[in-house]
Amino acid sequence: MNLPGNLGMSKGVYGCMPRRLYWMAAFCVASTVYAQALRLSAPKTTFYLGEAIPLTLAFTAETPRTFVADSRLQDRVGRLNGTDIFVVDPAGSTEDPLRGLPGEGSGMGGLSGGNAILTSDKPFRIERTLNEWVRFREPGTYRVHVQSHRVRRVTNPAGSDMDLQIGANSTPVEVVSNEVTLQILAPPPEWVSAQIGEAAAILDGTTGTDSASVRERQSAGLTLRFLDTVESAVALAKRLPDENSVDAFALHSGILDSHHRAELLPQLHELLAAPDQPISERFVSTLAQLAMLVESGGVMPPFPQGDVDRQAWQAEAQRRTERLNELRQQLIAEFAQSAGTKTGAAWARSLNGLLNIAQNMQPQPAWLTRVLGALVTNFRTLPGRMQRDLLESRWRWLRDTDMLPTLEALYSNPPKPDPGYPSIADLVLRRLYELNPARGRQLILEDLHRPEGPRNNQSVLLLPDETLPELDEVFRAQLARGGPPSSLLIARYATGNIVKQVEAAYAAHNAQVDHTCPFPLVFYFLKHDPTFGAQELRRGFANRCYDMGRGAEQLGASAMSPALEKLAIEHLTNPIVPIKRGAAEMLGKYGSPSAQQPLWETIEYFRAWWKDQEAELAKSGGAESHELERTLTTALGKSSAWTLDAAGLRRLLSLCSSRDCRSLVGDWLRAAGERPTQ
């Protein structure tokens, strides 16, 4: 046998091979060897110090269905540590850039599309960037290979593809790649400057949300991180993304893992008060951590073995944690003081950064009132995306300010929406109605009476009236002109006086369009012409419009009627699972107490059906039934028409077929002060 040149192995080789082989791993099974290989490659062999080094790992197996490979690319800190180990020789001139920092250890989990089933003709490829794990400290010639723990040997090749993809009946294998030689050169200063300029231009100018634009920004950020110069780190700090993502964490780490921390600290501190520099919560946190590392002389050493040394290490770790919090509070105070001097876009983004900080502070900081006042006064100058965010997720703060004049002005003259974001007019009207119901009602009615239909689709549904008879004439006029009026508005507010006219327009529309879903108009028909409504509900089911629960989302409780409740109870026994799931959802949310017993009977039947087949329910093929069980459980346990006592919850727990159901009902029992037993 020739190694490493012979990439294939024939059957009939006697004796077991060593656990690790250069280029391949092999296993003895009944005197037969099955081989698989890992091939490492790079697009070139010469790189500048600090240049990104892309690598490709290609996995193959000589015999199909004998090996699988983990397809995960990153964990919660971005590196997926320990899965692929990059070994460099000589190692003395290299280091782990995140040594001693949060990203050094495992980040848990990672998104996966399942294991890849290895074959000989189509390699499974993983793209990695060596700089994430290895930083070269000086120019030279280096040899690199990979020890990968992605591969598992399949012990039952006859199993299903699903079994192979989830790693069932398999054992882990360590695979070692071939060796690649890299030449690392000292970078010319003009090349470094050009790299920084190009990356900064991309981060400043590429704003698209498409995948190509996102990848371009990610690559530019990593370019600045890997260059590891004072200038690249400052450029990166100026553009730190204020988001909670793996990519943002990677760029934040690019500041902390810099070789130039002491030189960076005063420059970043100056940015805190610079008028044109936007400051985010992440910037403040990064600066605080950088200051703590500089003040403490670097990262913590590895965890020691001796008891005395461990105690000293733990004491130092605790001191650093407390000091980090002190530094962060100092920087927040400085930031809050200087934020008002920011100009242009930096002002708005910095105030948004202060809001992000304030939402995690208890008690509420004194400077928050000043920040909110500035935002209300200058609301129209804020970016449209920020206006929407303030009126949605930040509304709990703004509602106690003098927002009414601002809302009136915004409603009368809505700002032009940012590209990719809808107008905030509908949201403004909702907030107006919340602060001044009388004025909000007036504006909603005016909007509803517009001959061409309302401009605001959500806020016009807020009125509590069961019907609005004066709108019948508006709807009639729209129908007479060929409309069409909003089916949602008719279902919400129309009386039965125009039901025949609505049915005629509905039938004419259906004659021109095949396979239309009857929701939400069918709920109106069931209220005012139950026979026609039942007919159309059945027609909708025949056209695969199954989910009456989703069809009623915007109408809420106003969708329910005696006729609908009766039909929903009948369809709890429908053989089509999505139909009965939608029926259960409607009954749980909006049904009367009469719906409770049919729901009990349905979940009892479900339990009897799946008894002794729970493993099948847990598989992906049982997802539809799994969702039905959850809907039935929620309908019974969280109904708006009844409340289950402890005995009822224990009964519900006894009818659970899945682990998720038992966990859910167990939580309800614990919340009720009971101990789940089953």
pLDDT band at 452 (very low <50, low <70, confident <90, very high): confident
pLDDT: which is higher, 254 or 586: 586
Q: How far apart are CA 160 and CA 678, in angstroms?
A: 33
What is the average per-residue pLDDT within 252-268? 94
What is the Cα 32 distance to its own chain's centre? 46
Q: Which residues, including other chains, have CB under 8 Å from residue 555's CB and lie 6 or more apart?
A: 461, 488, 491, 492, 520, 523
Question: DSSP for 490-556?
Answer: HHHH--GGGHHHHHHHHHHHHHHSSS---TTHHHHHHHH-HHHHHHHHHHHHHTT---HHHHTTTTG
Q: At what angle do helices 562-570 and 577-590 cross, to 10 degrees?
A: 140
Tokens for 148, please give them.
């990968």
The yes-or-no verdict on residue 468 having pLDDT over 90 is yes
Is residue 115 a contact partner of residue 157, using CB atoms and an 8 Å limit?
Answer: no
How many C-beta neighbours within 10 Å does residue 505 have? Answer: 22
Q: What is the pLDDT of residue 629?
A: 96
Burial environment of residue 221 by CB neighbours within 10 A (0 to 12, 13 to 18, 19 or more): buried
> What are the backbone dihedrals phi and psi of residue 143, each rounded to the nearest 5 degrees, phi first?
-110, 130
More confident: 594 or 110 = 594
Q: In what order do the strands lie in the sheet with 124-129?
A: 24-29, 32-41, 54-61, 124-129
Please give the Cα distance from 46 to 122 (Å, whole number).
28
Of residues 422 and 364, more confidence is placed in 364
Q: How confident is the model at residue 385 (pLDDT cuts 50, 70, 90)?
A: confident
What's the pLDDT score for residue 111? 57
Kindly give, in sequence order, each residue whose CB lies less than 8 Å from that of residue 434, ignoring residues fewer than 6 positions away.
399, 440
> Among 34-48, 312-326, 409-423, 424-438, which stretch is predicted with the lowest mean pLDDT?
409-423
Question: What pLDDT is recorded for position 588?
Answer: 96
Question: Dihedral sign, CA of 390, 395, 397, 399?
Answer: positive
Phi, psi at residue 259, to the nearest 5°? -75, -5
Which tops the pLDDT comparison, 172 or 77?
172
Measured at the CA of 653, the angle between CA 651 and CA 657, to 5 degrees, comes to 120
Distance CA 609, CA 437 (A): 51
Confidence (pLDDT) at 484: 56
DSSP string for 391-451: HHTTHHHHTTSS-HHHHHHHHHSPPPPPTTS--SHHHHHHHHHHH-HHHHHHHHHHHHT-T
Q: Are 580 and 602 in contact (CB under 8 A)?
A: yes
Helix, strand, coil % (nearest 5) of the chain?
55, 10, 35
Can you read off the two tokens belonging to residue 625?
């039934």
Q: What is the 3-state secondary structure (H, E, C) of 552-617?
A: CCCCHHHHCCHHHHHHHHHHHHCCCHHHHHHHHHHHHHHCCHHHHHHHHHHHHHHHHHHCCCHHHH
Q: Are 202 and 220 within 8 A, CB to CB?
A: yes
Please count the residues of the chain: 678
pLDDT (tens digit per residue) in 290-348: 999 999 999 999 999 888 999 999 999 999 999 999 999 999 999 999 999 999 999 99
Per-residue pLDDT, averaged over 7-30, amounts to 33
Lowest-confidence pick of 239-248, 438-447, 488-497 = 239-248
Contacts of residue 657, Cβ cutoff 8 Å, sequence gap at least 6: 606, 607, 610, 611, 614, 617, 629
Asked if pLDDT for residue 461 goes beyond 90, the answer is yes
Which residues lie below 8 Å from residue 511, measured CB to CB, with a gap of 6+? none
Q: Tokens 């200051």 map to which residue?
A: 291
Which tokens in the block code for residue 466? Answer: 């069961």
The residue-averaged pLDDT of 615-638 equals 90
The per-residue pLDDT for 311 is: 94
Q: How confident is the model over 27-76, as pLDDT tens digits?
A: 333 333 456 789 999 999 999 999 999 999 999 999 888 999 998 887 65
Measured distance CA(560)–CA(589) in Å, rounded: 10
User: Is there a contact between 525 and 503 (Cβ–Cβ < 8 Å)?
Assistant: yes
Distance CA 330, CA 285 (A): 11
CA 90 to chain centre: 41
Q: What is the pLDDT of residue 416?
A: 82
484-517 pLDDT tens trace: 568 999 999 999 999 999 999 999 888 887 767 8
Helix (H, G, I), strand (E, B) or coil at 142: strand
**What is the Cα–Cα distance from 663 to 677, expressed in whole angstroms?**
11
Highest mean pLDDT among 114-123, 414-423, 572-581: 572-581
Selection from 479, 429, 472 nearest residue 449 by Cα: 472
Alpha carbon distance, N-terminus to C-terminus of the chain: 59
Res 249: pLDDT: 83
* Cβ contacts of 95 within 8 Å, gap of 6 or more: 134, 135, 137
- pLDDT for 643: 95
Q: Which of helix, strand or coil describes residue 172?
A: strand
Q: What is the CATH number of domain 24-185?
A: 2.60.40.10
Predicted confidence at residue 40, as pLDDT, reads 95
The arithmetic mean of pLDDT across residues 22-27, rounded, is 37
| Element holding 666 (H helix, E strand) | helix 659-671
- Which pLDDT band, with edges at 50, 70 and 90, does 156 fall under? confident
pLDDT(598) > 50: yes
The 10s digit of each residue's pLDDT in 165-218 is 877 788 999 999 999 999 999 999 999 999 999 999 999 987 777 888 888 998
Arithmetic mean of pLDDT over the chain: 88
| In contact, 207 and 213? CB cutoff 8 Å | yes
Higher pLDDT, 37 or 130: 130
